[in-house]
Amino acid sequence: MKIRRAVIPVAGKGTRFLPATKQVPKEMIPIINLPMIHYVVEEAILSGIEQVIFVTSSGKNAIEDYFDRNFDLEDFLIKNGKIKELEMIQQIGKMVEVTSVRQKEQLGLGHAVLCAKDIVGNEPFAVILGDEIVRGPNPVIKQLINVSQQYNNANVIGVMEVDPLETYKYGVVKGEFVDKNNKTMRMTDMVEKPLPAVAPSNLATPGRYIFRPEIFDALKVIPKGVGGEYQLTDAINLLARESEVYAHVFEGQRFDTGNIEGYLNATVEFALMNKDSEEMMRKIIKEKVEKYKIK
Ligand code: UTP
């Protein structure tokens, strides 16, 4: 079955980026000249998604505005002969159909996804975190859709290998591999932010999922979990008892742009990966290495 919709929760407070996030949504903080959310929505579009559903909160209007047309700016650019810039912003305004729903209280990621239930309706959908970017030749959501279709439209969680000492930062999965390449496992359990000593594996999700609509039934009944929040992980565990859930080790490089270190890492690497900025960044790095005697 075709996956047409992606839910992108962006209602969080972004406390790790304060004070910037006092006024600017974290997802609008740019990496070079594109806001984080641009990369995430691009992944959805390249995966065949037709409608993006943002789960937002107060102060997040800039995200919806970014994907809308801005006729004042377009007029200004026309009058000033800035045709390249005009085409660029018109293109963003036409990228994808955008809808939004409010999460009035930030009660956790599970609660945020549940807020999108009425818009999603009774069909499978993707969930993509708005502050995690994965880059590679094959968009992650597309990889997960392929796995889902291979296993009779099952639920699929995108996972990656993480440092075993850092499992406490993620949802970590347990299961048995079902393919000969050891890329796809039938998931039996998922633990939210386990300490390394009790982590069931070092395969963790950076927030890429394909769900059947039954996830909403699970989200409605879970109690508050880790951190006093409604955890998506708890609903996935409930779902795994009644329905097949697979975890797939995706291909691609992941950047956790929701924290300062990951953000800096993405900024430097994206600049090096982009032909327009590569030379600039190489020069800057070279100068800094000499100036600060970095070894
Ligand atoms: P984070 O854990 O990164 O939370 O949420 P946050 O509020 O964005 O950032 P910090 O930790 O305070 O710095 C992961 C994703 O889930 C969304 C966030 O917007 C982010 O994209 N989220 C989280 C919601 O939409 N609602 C919630 O209640 C919690």
Tens of pLDDT along 107-147?
Answer: 999 999 999 999 999 999 999 999 999 999 999 999 999 99
Q: Residue 246's domain spans which residues? A: 5-258
Ligand 1 centroid to Cα of residue 83, in Å, is 37
Res 175: pLDDT: 96
Nearest residue to 151 (alpha-carbon basis) of 106, 187, 112: 187
Assess if residue 71 is contained within a domain.
Answer: yes
Res 129: pLDDT: 97
- Beta-carbon contacts of residue 132 (< 8 Å; ≥ 6 apart): 40, 206, 207, 208, 254, 255, 256, 257, 258
* Average pLDDT, rounded, for the chain: 96
Pocket test for ligand 1, best of 18, 21, 26 (most atoms within 8 A of CB): 26
Nearest residue to 45 (alpha-carbon basis) of 89, 8, 100, 16: 8
Using CA positions, which residue lies closest to atom 27 of ligand 1?
108
Nearest residue to 268 (alpha-carbon basis) of 166, 15, 163, 260: 260
Ligand 1 centroid to Cα of residue 58, in Å, is 14
Assign 70 a pLDDT band (cuts: 50, 70, 90): very high
Ligand 1 site residues (CB inside 6 A) read 9-16, 26, 55, 103, 106-109, 111-112, 129-131, 258
- State the Cα–Cα distance between residues 224 and 230, nearest whole angstrom: 5
Tens of pLDDT along 171-227?
Answer: 999 999 999 999 999 999 999 999 999 999 999 999 999 999 999 999 999 999 989
Assess if residue 204 is contained within a domain.
Answer: yes
Atom number of ligand 1 nearest to Cα 258:
3
The two tokens of residue 263 are 């953000």
Tens of pLDDT along 79-102?
Answer: 999 999 999 999 999 989 999 999
Pocket test for ligand 1, best of 131, 226, 232, 261 (most atoms within 8 A of CB): 131
Residue reference for tokens 């929760």 = 9
Instruction: Provide the number of structural domains found in the chain.
Output: 1
Using CA positions, which residue lies closest to atom 7 of ligand 1?
12
Res 243: pLDDT: 93
Res 143: pLDDT: 98
Ligand 1 centroid to Cα of residue 263, in Å, is 15
Work out the angle between the directed axes of helices 36-46 and 140-150 (0-180°, nearest 10).
Answer: 30
- State the Cα–Cα distance between residues 9 and 13, nearest whole angstrom: 11
Residue reference for tokens 């291979």 = 150
Atom number of ligand 1 nearest to Cα 259:
13
Q: Are strands 171-177 and 184-192 parallel, antiparallel or unpaired?
A: antiparallel
Residue reference for tokens 């806001």 = 35
Q: Find the mean pLDDT for residues 23-49.
A: 96
pLDDT(295) > 90? no
Ligand 1 centroid to Cα of residue 258, in Å, is 9
Ligand 1 centroid to Cα of residue 36, in Å, is 14
- Domain of 59, CATH number, reads 3.90.550.10
Res 1: pLDDT: 79
Q: Find the mean pLDDT for residues 150-160.
A: 97
Assess if residue 140 is contained within a domain.
Answer: yes
Assess if residue 285 is contained within a domain.
Answer: no
Contact 116, 56 (CB under 8 A): no
Assess if residue 292 is contained within a domain.
Answer: no
Tens of pLDDT along 226-266?
Answer: 899 999 999 999 999 999 999 999 999 999 999 999 999 99
The two tokens of residue 277 are 């900025």
Assess if residue 9 is contained within a domain.
Answer: yes
Assess if residue 268 is contained within a domain.
Answer: no
- Beta-carbon contacts of residue 44 (< 8 Å; ≥ 6 apart): 6, 8, 52, 96, 126, 128, 139, 141
Atom number of ligand 1 nearest to Cα 11:
25
Atom number of ligand 1 nearest to Cα 111:
28
Ligand 1 centroid to Cα of residue 172, in Å, is 18
Assess if residue 126 is contained within a domain.
Answer: yes
